[in-house]
C-alpha cells in the first residue's frame, strides 16, 4: 500500500479528528501517503481532496467537528456515482480508503466494495448505533454535553418548581438518553428500545412525587420516541405540575472531545492502518469487551454487540424511585 484516502461521513462526532490524526501519523510512519477527502462520500465523487501530512493534523486532537467536513451523500446511494468515485480513486492511485462515520457510512462502504475498492471503516457517531461495536466515537462527549446542559436546566427547574422535559439525540438508539438521564437523576427516561407507547408510568411517578412534596421534576426523552412538547403538555394537564420542554439539538454534536473520544479516536485510527499494513481490507474497526477488534464490513451489519444493557436500564428505573 502506497497511498490511502481518509474521509469522515454522516453526522460529525467529537473524536473524528483524533482518528484522522492517528491515520495520518500511522501511515506516515509506514511511508504511506495520505489524501484527505472533503465532505465525505460527496468529495470522493467530485474528487475534492487535500494532501494530509503531519503538519496538517497538528493541534486537531482537541477540536470538535471534523477538519475534513462531512455530508450525508444522497448521490452515493446511486451505483453510477459510486462507480465515478471508484474511478477517481484508481485515477489517483489510491490503494485504500479509511471512512469514519456511523451506520449510513458503513452501509455505503459495503456497497462501495463492489466497485473493487478496499475500504476500512471506523465507527464515529454520537448515537452509538453501529451494531457491531460497543463504542462509537463521539458518544462520550455527547453524553457529557447533554449531562451538563441538563444540570443547568435542572437549576431553573428547581427554582421554579417545574417539570423539565428534555429531548436528547440518538436517532433510533437511547444511549445518550440513558446515560445523560441517569447521570442527572431523571425521574423518567424514555428510550426507543423500551417504549411501549404508555405514558401512565411517567404520569403516575410524577403525581406521586408531587404528592410527596417534591418541587422539581426531570424527564429525559430520546428523540423520535414521542413528541417532547406534547409530553410536557400532557404532564402539566394530568399532574398540575407546570412543565417546560427543552430540545438540546446540535449542541450535542459539537465541542471539545473528552479524553475518551480522543483516546479511542487515536486507537481506532492507528488500528485501521494496522489492518491495511497486514494486507487486509473491507473491515470495520470495533470495540468488543473493551478491546479493539475488526469485522468484515458485510458481516458487521448483522452483529449486535451493542444492545442496550438491561441491567443499566433496570438500574435507571430503580434509581428514579
Ligand atoms: O447521527 C447523529 C445525529 O445527530 C442523530 O442523533 C440525529 O438524529 C441526526 O444526526 C441529525 O441529522 P442531521 O445532521 O442530518 O440533521
Q: Ligand 1, residue 223: give the atom nearest the CA.
A: 8
Give dist(CA 48, CA 37) in Å, integer: 6
CB of 72 sitting under 6 A from ligand 1: yes
Which residue from 82, 239, 248, 250 is spatially nearest to 161, judged by alpha carbons? Answer: 239
Q: Ligand 1, residue 250: give the atom nearest the CA.
A: 4
CB of 127 sitting under 6 A from ligand 1: yes
Burial class (CB in 10 A: 0-12, 13-18, 19+), 229: middle
Report the separation in Å between the CA atom of 100 and the middle of ligand 1, taken as the mean of its atom positions.
15
**What positions carry a catalytic annotation?**
127
Place of cell 442527572: 184
Query: What pLDDT, on the 0 to 100 scale, is given for residue 308?
Result: 87
User: Residue 119: CB partners within 8 Å, gap ≥ 6?
Assistant: 96, 97, 98, 99, 109, 112, 113, 281, 282, 297
Give dist(CA 273, CA 120) in Å, integer: 9
Which one of 101, 168, 169, 221 would you pick to mutate in the ligand 1 pocket, going by the greatest count of ligand atoms within 8 A of its CB?
Answer: 169
Q: Is the pTM of this model over 0.90?
A: yes
- Report which protein residue has its CA nearest ligand 1's atom 11: 11
Query: What pLDDT, on the 0 to 100 scale, is given for residue 230?
Result: 95
As a dihedral over the C-alpha atoms of residue 109, residue 114, residue 117, residue 118, rounded to 10 degrees, the angle is 70
Phi, psi of 36 (to 5 degrees): -95, 130
Query: What pLDDT, on the 0 to 100 scale, is given for residue 310?
Result: 87
Give dist(CA 9, CA 72) in Å, integer: 7
Query: What pLDDT, on the 0 to 100 scale, is given for residue 98?
Result: 98
User: Coil, helix or strand for 125?
Assistant: coil
Angle of helix 228-239 relative to helix 200-211, nearest 10 degrees?
50
Report the separation in Å between the CA atom of 186 and the middle of ligand 1, taken as the mean of its atom positions.
23
Report the separation in Å between the CA atom of 247 and the middle of ligand 1, taken as the mean of its atom positions.
13
Q: What is the pLDDT along the chain (321 residues), one digit of tens a residue?
A: 999 999 999 999 999 999 999 999 999 999 999 999 999 999 999 999 999 999 999 999 999 999 999 999 999 999 999 999 999 999 999 999 999 999 999 999 999 999 999 999 999 999 999 999 999 999 999 999 999 999 999 999 999 999 999 999 999 999 999 999 999 999 999 999 988 889 998 999 999 999 998 888 999 999 999 999 999 999 999 999 999 999 999 999 999 999 999 999 999 999 999 999 999 999 999 999 999 999 999 999 889 888 888 899 999 888 886
Query: What pLDDT, on the 0 to 100 scale, is given for residue 307?
Result: 83
Phi, psi of 250 (to 5 degrees): -70, -10
Asked if ipTM goes beyond 0.95, one says yes
Which residue from 275, 261, 269 is spatially nearest to 36, judged by alpha carbons? Answer: 269
How many alpha carbons lie under 13 Å from residue 184 in its C-beta half-sphere? 33
Report the separation in Å between the CA atom of 70 and the middle of ligand 1, taken as the mean of its atom positions.
12
Query: What pLDDT, on the 0 to 100 scale, is given for residue 320?
Result: 84
Find out whether 84 and 46 touch, Cβ atoms under 8 Å: no
- Report which protein residue has its CA nearest ligand 1's atom 1: 11
What's the length of the chain?
321
CB of 173 sitting under 6 A from ligand 1: no
Kindly state the helix (H) or strand (E) to which residue 7 belongs, with its residue range.
strand 3-8
- Report which protein residue has its CA nearest ligand 1's atom 13: 11
Give dist(CA 110, CA 276) in Å, integer: 17
CB of 39 sitting under 6 A from ligand 1: no
Amino acid at each position: 500500500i502506497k497511498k490511502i484516502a481518509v474521509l469522515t461521513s454522516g453526522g460529525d462526532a467529537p473524536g473524528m479528528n483524533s482518528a484522522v490524526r492517528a491515520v495520518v501519523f500511522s501511515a506516515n510512519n509506514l511511508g504511506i501517503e495520505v489524501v484527505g477527502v472533503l465532505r465525505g462520500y460527496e468529495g470522493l465523487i467530485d474528487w475534492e481532496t487535500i494532501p494530509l501530512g503531519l503538519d496538517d493534523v497538528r493541534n486537531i486532537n482537541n477540536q470538535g467537528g471534523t477538519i475534513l467536513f462531512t455530508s450525508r451523500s444522497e448521490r452515493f446511494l446511486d451505483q453510477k456515482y459510486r462507480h465515478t468515485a471508484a474511478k477517481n480513486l484508481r485515477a489517483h492511485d489510491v490503494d485504500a480508503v479509511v471512512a469514519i462515520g456511523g451506520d449510513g457510512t458503513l452501509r455505503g462502504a459495503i456497497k462501495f466494495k463492489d466497485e473493487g475498492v478496499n475500504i476500512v471503516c471506523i465507527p464515529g457517531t454520537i448515537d452509538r448505533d453501529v451494531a457491531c461495536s460497543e463504542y462509537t466515537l463521539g458518544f462520550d462527549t455527547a453524553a457529557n454535553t447533554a449531562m451538563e446542559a441538563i444540570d443547568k436546566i435542572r437549576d431553573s427547574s428547581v427554582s421554579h418548581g417545574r417539570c423539565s422535559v428534555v429531548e436528547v439525540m440518538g436517532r433510533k438508539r437511547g444511549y445518550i438518553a440513558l446515560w445523560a438521564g441517569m447521570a442527572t437523576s431523571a425521574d423518567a427516561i424514555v428510550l426507543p428500545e423500551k417504549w411501549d407507547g404508555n405514558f401512565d408510568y411517567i404520569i403516575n411517578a410524577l403525581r406521586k412525587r408531587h404528592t410527596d412534596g417534591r418541587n422539581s421534576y426531570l424527564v429525559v426523552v430520546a428523540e423520535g420516541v414521542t413528541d417532547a412538547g406534547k409530553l410536557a403538555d400532557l404532564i402539566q394537564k394530568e399532574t398540575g405540575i407546570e412543565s417546560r420542554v427543552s430540545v438540546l439539538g446540535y449542541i450535542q454534536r459539537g465541542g471539545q472531545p473528552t479524553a475518551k473520544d480522543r483516546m479511542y479516536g487515536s486507537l481506532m485510527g492507528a488500528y485501521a492502518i494496522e489492518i491495511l499494513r497486514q494486507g487486509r481490507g473491507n473491515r470495520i474497526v470495533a470495540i468488543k469487551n473493551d478491546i479493539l477488534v475488526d469485522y468484515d464490513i458485510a458481516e458487521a451489519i448483522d452483529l449486535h454487540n451493542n444492545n442496550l444493557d438491561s441491567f443499566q436500564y433496570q438500574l435507571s428505573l430503580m434509581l428514579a424511585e
